[in-house]
Structure 1
Amino acid sequence: MNGLLGVGMLAVGAVFSIFELLDATFAMPAGWVADRYNRARVYVFSGAISLLGLLFLLFSPNSLVLLLVLLFLFILIYSLGINIGYTSRYSLTLDLVPEEKRGAVFGLFHTLTFLFPIGAGLMLGILLDLGFRAIFMLCVLLKLIDLLLRLRIHDPQREAVTQVPLVQVEHSTTGSQPEATPRGLISRVKSLFRSFRSDMGESWSVFIHKRDLLALVMIGTLGSLSYGVSAVYFIIYFHEILHFAPLQIGLLFSLHAAGIALAGILGGMLSDRLGCRTVLTTSSLVSGVLTFVFVYVQRFDVMIAVFFLLALEGGLYAPNYQVLLGELTPEGHQGRVFSFMDVCTTGATAVGPLLGGWLWIALGPTWVFITDGILTILCAILLLCFIKR
C-alpha cells in the first residue's frame, strides 16, 4: 500500500510539473513584450487572450477527442494571457505606485489573491449542480468585466503605441496602396526575433553587472523549489499519515488561506517601514524553523497553530520579494528581469513536486518537509550574505 501511495505521489508531482513548465514557456516573451510595447494595451490584450481561452471551454463539443484538443489549446492560450498580464501588471505597478507605498500595494494584491477564492469556492459548490457550462459562463462574464476595467489603465511611460505592424509593408513604384506579402511577414518575424534576442542579451548584461540582483533571483529560485517540494503533499500527508478527518483538513486549509491573506497586507505595510530585506530574511528564518516543528506535530489542535503560523510567514514572502526585485532592477528592464525570474522560479516549482515525490518514496514523508525547511533557511542565509539593502 505504501509503495502504491509513493508511486501516486510521484504521478501527482509529474502532473503539477507539466503545468508549471507550460507557464515557464511563455514567461520570457511576456517580459519582452511588457518592456517593448505600451504596457496598458498589452495588459488589455492579455485579458482578451485569456477570454478566448475560456470561450474555447464554454463552447467545447461533446466529442472526447475534440474536448481534449480544446483543453490543450485552452492551457496554452490561457497560460500565455496570464503570463503577459501578470508581467505587465507588475511593471505598471512599479511605475504607478510611489516607492514608499509599494509594499502595501503588493501586499494588497497578495491578500486579494487569497480572499477571492474563498467566495469563489462557495459559488463553485452552488454552480456544480448546474453543470460545468454554467461555471464557464460565469468565468466569461467575470473576464469581460475584468477586460473593461483594464481599459481604464494608462501606461505613464508610453502613452503612444510604439510597435511596428507585424506585417512588413511594401510600396510599389506606381504609388498604389501598401500590400502585405508573405515575404514581408517572414521578414518582420525575423526582425522581431532578432530584437527579442538583442533585448534579452541586454538584460542579461544587467545581471552580470548587478550581482545582488542575480543573487535575489537565485534566492527566489530556491524559495520556489522549497515551495514546490512540499506544497502538493500537505493534504496527502494530513490524510494518509496523520489520518485527519476531511472536515479537519478543510479547516486547516481555510485557516491557511486566511493566514496568507492576512500576512499579505500586513507584511507589505511592514516592508514599507522596516525594509523588504529585513522582513524577508526574518520570515524565511522563522518559516524554516516552523517547518521543522511541523514534522513532529501529531495532534490536530497543535497543527492548527503551526499551520496558521506557516501561512503567516509564507504570506510575507511574495509581496516583499516583488518589491525588493523592483528596487534592484534598473528602469526599463522590469518586464524582462521579472520574466527571467519567473522562468527560474517556475522551473524550480516544476522540479519541486518531482523531488518531493522521490523523497516521499526513498526517505519517507517527513523528509519532504525537512527538505522544505532546509531550503527556506538557506534562502535566509543568502539574503544576509548578498543583499545589502
Structure 2
Amino acid sequence: MDLDLPIPPAPVRPVLTELRLPAYKPHRGTVLPLAPLTFLTGPSGSGKSAALEAMAALARLGAGAPLGEVFPDPASCVPEWAVAGGRQGRGFRIGCTVDGPAGPVRLDVAVRAEPELRVQGERLTADGRVLLTTALRDPRCRSVQAEWHTAGSARVTRAPLPDDRLGTALLPLRVAGTTEGQRQVLAAAEQVLVALRSSFACDPRPGRMRSPVAVGEGRLRRGCGNLAEVLRRTRGECGTRHAALVAASRTGCAGAVEDLAVEDLADGTVRAVLRRGAHTATPVERLGDGELRYLALALVLLTGPGVLDVDPVAEVLSARQVLTVLADDFDRSLDRRQTAELLALAARMTRRGHIRLLGALREGTPVPGAEGVDGAGHAGGPEGAGGARGAGGARGAGAVRVVHLADERDDPRGRDRP
C-alpha cells in the first residue's frame, strides 16, 4: 500500500531535539543530536542501550513518576569514574532539549544515587534565561530548594519541592501564570512535558506475543505481549491503517498474507492469525521471532498514541503532540529484507510529522538517506563542553540521522580522566 501521500503542513509542536548524558553509565559528556529518525550504532559497551534508558527515564520523570520507580537500581547508573564529593555522594546527570513554540528549552537533572536516591539539582533554561533551578541545600531535609522566574514585584519565587520528583513536572501545579515571567516559565515547562510524556519505549518480546491474551482496553504495552488484543481494536477502528499493516506484513512475513485477523477462543481470550487464503490461516505463535518483532514495530509506526500505552498530556490536543518511539535493538532477530522494509516505513512515517523514532542498530546496518555523526559520545574537553567528538555535535538538519557511539575503552582520550 502506498503511504507516500501529500504531507499536510504541521503545526509547531514540541519535539525532542537533543539528549545529553554528561555523566550516566558509560557516558561522559555525550551529546546526541536528534532528528525525526535517529539511530545509534556502535560496538557493544558503547552506551546505545544506556542512552535509550536515559531517554525513557526522562519521559517517566516528566509524567511525575518518583525517582525510586524510574531508577530501581540507581547505583548502576553512576559512571565508574564518578568520585564522591564529601557529603554529596555519587550520582549521575542527564538532560534534553525540546524545541517548539517557546523556542529551544533545556532541561538538566542531577541525581544523587548514594548514599540515598535524591534529586541533587535541576535546571530549566530557555533563550539564555534560567527559568527554574532546584538544589539540595540541606541533606537532612527531604526537599530541594526551588527558584523560578517571576518577573513581577519579586524577580523569583522560592519554595521547597519534593526531592524525589522532577520539579519541572510540578510547575504547572505551583505557578499561577499571573505575570509575563510566570507565563514564560509555564510555557517552557509545558513544552518539555508534552514532548517527554509523548514517548513510548517499545521492545517487542516474541515469547510473550505467542500466547492468547484477554481483551482489555486495547493499548499496546512495551513488550507487545497483547498484540492480538490491539490488532482486534485497530482492525475495527481504522481500515486504512490496518490495510497498510497488512501490506507491510507481506514483506516481513514468509508466505502469502491476505489479512491479519483475530480469533476469539473458547476461554474468552483472543489470538492473532495470518490469513493465507480462503481456508488457510497461520496463528502468530507459529511465526518466527523476526516476523513477530517486525509485525509489532510496523504496528507501532502505523498507529498513534491512542493505541499505545503512553501517558500524554490530556489538556493538549493530540494534533499538537508528536509521538516519540524509543526502540532499542531495532533490528534484533530481523533479516536484511525485514530491516530494510521497517527502515523505509519508519522514514515515511516520520516524514509525515506525527511520529519520531530514536532507536539502536547493529553496526554496519545501512540506513538509506541518513546523514552521519561520527564518534558522538564521550566528548573530550572540559566538563560541560558537550558536543560530539570529531563531528562537533549536531551536523545538518536532515530527517534521518545515524550517530556512531565510540567505546571509551578504545579511546585514549577517555582514559585516566578524573
> TM-score if structure 1 supplies the norm length?
0.24
Higher strand share: 2
Which protein, 1 or 2, shows the higher relative CO under an 8 Å CA cutoff with sep ≥ 6? 1
> TM-score if structure 2 supplies the norm length?
0.23
Higher helix share: 1
